[in-house]
Amino acid sequence: MTRRGGDPRDAEIGQRVRALRLQRGLSQTELGQLISVTFQQVQKYEKGANRISAGRLQRIAEVLGVPVAYFFAVAQDTSEPAEPDEPAGSGFLQTEGALRLARAYARIKEPGVRLQLLRLTEAIAGETRCD
């Protein structure tokens, strides 16, 4: 931890807050209102620029419907954080636009169209797959 910089643990907790906020479909403004801070303060929490106090973290946990321990969970036999109650690979949801993309994809009714979109996305990403 540097004198003026944040602790990496603060950034990790902030990333978990962001991921849960996005999963719950809340904006930074909405979360801020629910926990009585400005959206700018939520931004700082999510980036790890500002440390979240114990009381505020408790309130965030209540609003997002998780135990406080969720923000500190660490997987066994690894330094990677555990993702309780989340599907494998859900870390991608922290990527800008990923949640919107996943929601839009889920609304596509035609299986053939979903498959075409999947193949297009893989081609753009530079992946090749034989199905």
- Contact, 122 vs 129, CB < 8 A? yes
Length of the chain: 131
pLDDT at 1 over 80: no
pLDDT of residue 111: 85
pLDDT at 4 over 90: no
Summary mean pLDDT of the chain: 79
Average pLDDT over residues 116-131: 78
Average pLDDT over residues 98-117: 82
**What domains does the chain contain, in order, with CATH numbers?**
1-86 (1.10.260.40), 95-131 (no CATH)
Q: How far is CA 31 from CA 36, 58, 74, 105, 130, in A?
A: 8, 13, 25, 25, 43
pLDDT at 2 over 60: no
Q: Which pLDDT tens digit goes with each residue over 36-92?
A: 999 999 999 999 999 999 999 999 999 999 899 888 876 444 444 444 444 444 456
* In 25-65, alpha helices (H): 28-35, 39-47, 54-64
21's tokens:
């906020």
- Other beta carbons within 10 Å of 48: 20
